[in-house]
Amino acid sequence: MKVTFKQWACLDDPAMKDTVTEVHFDVIQEDGRPVIDDIHRVGDGETDSLVDEMNSIIKGE
């Protein structure tokens, strides 16, 4: 699932205020309910994984 929003809409800087942030959600079925499995932030044409980032933090990397 892809979501876009204006993350910086509350700023006074017009250049930042109008930027659109994109986030992708991996949604799976768990016990018959849809749940978010991972969140991917999109920037400069690349995506990352919040799950991978949290696992790296847990491992102390």
Query: What are the CB-based long-range contacts (under 8 Å, 24+) for 31-37?
Result: none
The pTM is what? 0.75
Instruction: Sort residue 45 into left (φ over 0), alpha (ψ -120 to 50) or beta.
Output: left
Going from the C-alpha of 17 to that of each of 5, 22, 25, 29, 60, the distances in angstroms are 11, 14, 24, 36, 35
pLDDT band of 61, cuts 50, 70, 90: confident
pLDDT digits (tens, 9 = 90+) for 8-36: 999 999 888 989 999 999 999 999 999 99
| Average pLDDT over the chain, rounded to an integer | 94
Give me the domain span that covers residue 46: 2-59
Return the structure tokens found at 35: 């749940």
Q: How many domains does the chain have?
A: 1
The answer on pLDDT for 45 being more than 90 is no
Question: How many percent of the chain have pLDDT more than 70?
Answer: 100
